[in-house]
A = this chain, B = another copy of it.
Amino acid sequence: MATLDKITPRDVDFAKWYTDVCLTAKLVSYSNTKGSMIMCPNGYAIWEEIQNNLNQRIKMTNHENVQMPLFIPESLLNIEKEHVKGFAPEVAWITYGGEEKLDERLCVRPTSEVLFCEHFKNIIKSYRDLPKLYNQWCTIVRWEKSTRPFLRSREILWQEGHTMHSSEQEAKEETLRMLKVYEDFQRNDLALPVIVGRKTEKEKFAGALETYTIEAMMYDGVALQNGTSHYFGNHFAKAFDIKFLDKDNTYKNPYQTSWGSSTRMIGAVIMTHSDDNGLVLPPKIAPTKVIFIPISNDDEIKNAINKISDKLKVTYKIDVSDKSPGYKFAEAEVLGIPIRVEVGMRDLKNNEVTLVRRDTLEKIKVNVDLASDKIEELLDTIQKDMYNRALKRRNSMLYEAKNYEEFKSLALKPGFIKINWCENEACEEKIKNDFGLKSRCIIDEKSDGNCAICGKKGKVKIYFGKQY
């Protein structure tokens, strides 16, 4: 009999467990192109679900999809000084086209601010041309040294929004609007409890005035930055000489935002919800929501499955392969299908089938005639329960430190530590040097004491934690 590959237990070796889940559920495969992964059908199907859901939210907020070039001429990347400083060390350079050496090197886009700015310069002339609310789904490349499936790779599938506005206020509202879109999507569809806030000066995006972030906490207490939204003011617009004639008949530079999220969200889903049996997917982004497993080949079983599945409004599969029922159960678990329906003769004598929840492995016997309603109800329940369990676990790893001693006593624990902070970069540096923890984000909560590090007046509340 065929057996599934063994998954290293999560509490024995979290990193190995993660890789095992990715490979055993056939989400990804390694390739000979160092640093790039192959997204296999099971992995890419999850990305398609995420794209569909998030794309709708992006369009509902009036953004339009476009497609910019893949390559950036070196001179274009060089226009905005902060930005190039941040990105030049990690781009891939094209130097030859066929046999011919290029006059100017091209980099593969690591992000597309400069490409959008160049285009905005051509199309924005008047206040009537604003706002421009653009988004693109594409591949970017950043030359990472070490890579891990979904979390960090040289090649990243993502969406990046780029917008231009006639006023500072409107651009700031856009920055926060899209942060909220990400937050809602991740809470409701990915069942991820997330902390939202502002990055420190040290951690913000190269060239941004303000960077807002979605910080998720993984099962092991380590942070995953799961989406960012940037406010640029108008200094890219100035560098690129983008101007519009305003209603008052004067020329002004427009105000800019950008925001991005990537396949990293799949990594967050895995590291938050999955277990030692494999993947656990929130129903809303599971490509297959239900799998029917016939225990034998009897006609009554086929009829019962048809009776239930005909009424289902969600995507389902029927496993009619020649594997054993036990193997099929294990495989459905590895793949993270939210509900499996075991249909056997013993249950059918009572006109029942057994629903098995993937998240809890709980078995529920239901009447055949009520099964389709029950399945759809149970999918909602699973979605909510997954969020609540993740929230409870996350909250159990949130700490607060009043002073350096308290910080020190908490620093080795998995999770995030909240402190009052004076906003002095020296204190942020000291935490990084002493404990290897980076700032996650400044949250929307008033400081109520002195800075936990230097003891001077606290100005904001901020979280620190280890990160992927």
Residues of chain A whose beta carbon lies under 8 Å from any beta carbon of chain B? 29, 31-34, 36-41, 44-45, 47-48, 64-73, 76, 88-100, 105-106, 108, 115, 118-119, 122-123, 134, 138-139, 141, 143, 154-155, 157
Contact = CB atoms under 8 A, between A and B. Distances in A.
A155 B38 contact: no
In order of increasing CB-CB distance, the 10 nearest A-B pairs are: A36-B69, A41-B64, A97-B143, A33-B69, A93-B96, A39-B67, A95-B95, A89-B98, A98-B143, A92-B94
A78 B61 CA distance: 47
Contacts of A76: 32-33
Contacts of A34: 73
A384 to B, nearest CB: 30
B99 A69 contact: no
Given A31-B118, A97-B92, A106-B33, A41 B66 contact: yes
Contacts of A72: 33
A108 B91 contact: no
20 contacts: A29-B123, A31-B115, A31-B118, A33-B71, A34-B73, A36-B71, A37-B69, A39-B67, A41-B65, A41-B134, A44-B67, A45-B64, A48-B65, A70-B155, A92-B96, A93-B95, A93-B96, A94-B95, A94-B108, A95-B95
B97 A96 contact: no
A36 B73 CA distance: 11
A447 to B, nearest CB: 39
Contact of A40 (B44, B66, B69, B73): B66
A188 B116 CA distance: 36
A118 B65 contact: no
Most buried by B among A90, A93, A108, A139: A93
A33 B139 contact: no
A44 B65 contact: yes
A32 B143 CA distance: 23
A61 to B, nearest CB: 15
Contacts of A47: 67
A139 B141 contact: no
A48 B71 CA distance: 22
A64 to B, nearest CB: 4
Given A32-B118, A94-B94, A143-B97, A68 B106 contact: no
B70 A122 contact: no
Nearest to A55: B48
Contacts of A33: 69-73, 76, 106, 115
Given A64-B41, A119-B29, A155 B92 contact: no
Given A88-B98, A108-B108, 10 more contacts: A31-B69, A32-B73, A33-B71, A36-B70, A38-B119, A45-B64, A91-B98, A94-B94, A94-B95, A139-B139
Contacts of A65: 41, 44-45, 48
Contacts of A157: 67
B68 A38 contact: yes
A89 B100 CA distance: 9
